Amino acid sequence: MIELPPGLILIVGAFLLPFFHGNVRNIYMLLLPIFGIWGLLTVSNGVYFPFEIFGYNLSPVRIDRLSLLFGYIFHIAAIISLIYAFHLKDTVQQMAGLIYAGAAIGGAFAGDLITLFIYWEITAIASVFLIWSSRTEASFKAGMRYLIIQVGSGVLLLAGAIIHFHKTGSIAFDKMNLSGLGPILIFVAFGIKAAFPLLHNWLVDAYPEATVTGTVFLSAFTTKLAIYALARGFPGTEMLIWIGATMTAFPIFYAVIENNLRRVLTYSLNNQLGFMVVGIGIGTELSINGTAAHAFSHILYKAVLFMSMGAVLYRTGTIKGSELGGLYKTMPYTTGFCIVGAASASAFPLFSGFISKSLIVTAAAVEGHWFVWGVLLFASASVFYHSGIKIPYFAFFQHDSGKRPQEAPKNMLAAMGIAAFLCIAIGVYPYWLYDILPYNVDYKPYTTTHVVTQLQLLFFSALAFGWLMRTGLYPPELKSTNLDFDWSYRVFIPKILNIVANSIKIINASLESVIHKILAFVNANLSKHHGRSGILARTSSLGGSVTMIISVLAVLIIIFYFET
């Protein structure tokens, strides 16, 4: 039995934060997720705190193996993120981080669509403060765009839930089919937060503009909550296989040419989400296990990478690959942790990515999705190319930038160390993770075929990177802006609308000129005949008038005569 809905302890606890200061505040913040995960370790499956309101049967807490796994990793991510942010004195960021993490945890345990919607919107509102806290014009604008998109996703979710309720009489958050408007709207809402192709730009736009610590929080919760929602609501939806395969492939090319290393990581994050979406689309027990396992391990190794790049930004003031290099000399621990994260992301044997990603790739092969299987292999090799090599190489090695920053603060190193240790521990002994997956696992990742195949992919990728660097064919790290799909609605469409608006103004001005000329001509002629000196306005004598009338009558008599 649990005393409070999971996540609520973090949300409520955040509002008491201003009453604590210094190290006491740090300890207090850390205790909140520790108590939360402790409660999950003692709870049993079932629905908790059900109630009815306005005719809706709400189930605020639904405990099962899928929700528990995401609950565990969300609490772990909150603990790591809070430790990483211990040096902060910004109450707004600390409160936003706690509320954001608590809302994501609450959403993972929501048993109905209304409860999910509430937590869905809280994550959007709380997380935007982690972007705005950078206090730059770019972060403010990115945060506004982020907020509009995230709140819009929530509106679609609510609309879909209401339509679904009117059709089925239920708002239970269970598996749905894309057979009506309600589920379609819900699907799109989930797709926005999962960063589907053409809906992904908020991710690359906003995350790199967040604070050093805020990006670590952001990398863990929003998109993974969407992955959980898709796994809960739409497992086995074949469309997701192709959406996910596209997600694994297209961000690779942007990651290779991007100069901002935190933006490289956001493209890599988008790429890894594609693996999870493919697993949900396949919909078998093996693939759902793979999605859950990969979400778990991805949160950890992506946190390590974002934390290491955050430490670089914190110490040097820049995160551009073209301005970095040689930092391993004064930041050796950060360099080592970054390499662990890179190895995990690249799915090296004995690291967490190796034992989770392979579940999805194997599921694709078992179900006969050979083209998708090939795309996943290509994407796996490419991840090593941009996350496994590019991130540590351009940040810590390549040419010597001359920068000699201090090592990261101790709390940052501690957070990176915890996450890196978990990446290695899960990779060495994966059954710690396999035992808490949604379904029983009958899979052995460390087979000769799997290990040799993966090493071949990685070594070939490393060879390709080395060859391109030696021949000068590798895209140089330049101070530039890469154009993504958002260029179409942020630049191209506004320009088209401006052209149309200017054309309308020109046409309107021309029409006004013509109309004014016509009116002036008519007015001139009216004045000529009806003005003070006009013919029809002149005063005539009585005799003249009689003569005119007699003349008109004479003409009419003549016409009448000849007509008859």
**CA-to-CA distance for 37 and 34, rounded, in angstroms?**
5
Is residue 455, in this structure, part of any structural domain at all?
Answer: yes
Which one, of 3, 50, 7, 318, lies nearest residue 172 by Cα?
A: 50
One domain for residues 516 and 467? no
**CA-to-CA distance for 115 and 120, rounded, in angstroms?**
8
Residue 464: the pLDDT is 76
**CA-to-CA distance for 227 and 85, rounded, in angstroms?**
26
One domain for residues 204 and 340? no
Q: What predicted TM-score, i.e. pTM, was given to this entire model?
A: 0.86
List, in sequence order, every beta strand (DSSP E) within 264-404.
none
Residue 544: the pLDDT is 63
Give tens-digit pLDDT for 467-485. 777 777 666 655 666 666 6
Last residue of a domain, one of 181, 213, 245: 213
Last residue of a domain, one of 213, 244, 269: 213
Is residue 222, in this structure, part of any structural domain at all?
Answer: no
Is residue 173, in this structure, part of any structural domain at all?
Answer: no
Structural contact between residues 94 and 100, judged by C-beta atoms closer than 8 angstroms = no
Is residue 224, in this structure, part of any structural domain at all?
Answer: no
Structural domains counted in the chain: 3
φ/ψ of 260, rounded to 5, equals -75, 115
Give tens-digit pLDDT for 329-348. 999 999 999 999 999 999 89
**CA-to-CA distance for 10 and 4, rounded, in angstroms?**
11
Is residue 126, in this structure, part of any structural domain at all?
Answer: yes
How far is it between the farthest Cα atoms of the chain?
127
Residue 479: the pLDDT is 62
Q: How far is CA 541 from the centre of its chain?
A: 90
Residue 543: the pLDDT is 66
One domain for residues 20 and 157? yes
Structural contact between residues 267 and 250, judged by C-beta atoms closer than 8 angstroms = no
Is residue 182, in this structure, part of any structural domain at all?
Answer: no
Burial label for 256, CB within 10 Å (0-12, 13-18, 19+), is: middle
**CA-to-CA distance for 228 and 205, rounded, in angstroms?**
23
Burial label for 9, CB within 10 Å (0-12, 13-18, 19+), is: buried
Residue 541: the pLDDT is 61
CA distances from residue 184 to 167, 282, 463 in whole angstroms, order as listed: 13, 19, 44
One domain for residues 472 and 541? no
One domain for residues 245 and 149? no
Residue 477: the pLDDT is 59
**CA-to-CA distance for 356 and 235, rounded, in angstroms?**
18
One domain for residues 324 and 306? yes
Print the domain residue range for 550.
Answer: 490-563
One domain for residues 143 and 267? no
| DSSP character string of 224-263 | HHHHHHHHHH-TT-THHHHHHHHHHHHHHHHHHH--BHHH
One domain for residues 506 and 411? no
**CA-to-CA distance for 393 and 474, rounded, in angstroms?**
13
One domain for residues 518 and 445? no
**CA-to-CA distance for 86 and 258, rounded, in angstroms?**
30
Residue type, 344: S
Is residue 362, in this structure, part of any structural domain at all?
Answer: yes
Fill in the DSSP letter of residue 320.
Answer: B
One domain for residues 83 and 143? yes
One domain for residues 471 and 498? no
Is residue 315, in this structure, part of any structural domain at all?
Answer: yes
Mark the ranges of the chain whose per-residue pLDDT is less than 50: none
Residue 4: the pLDDT is 79
One domain for residues 266 and 401? yes
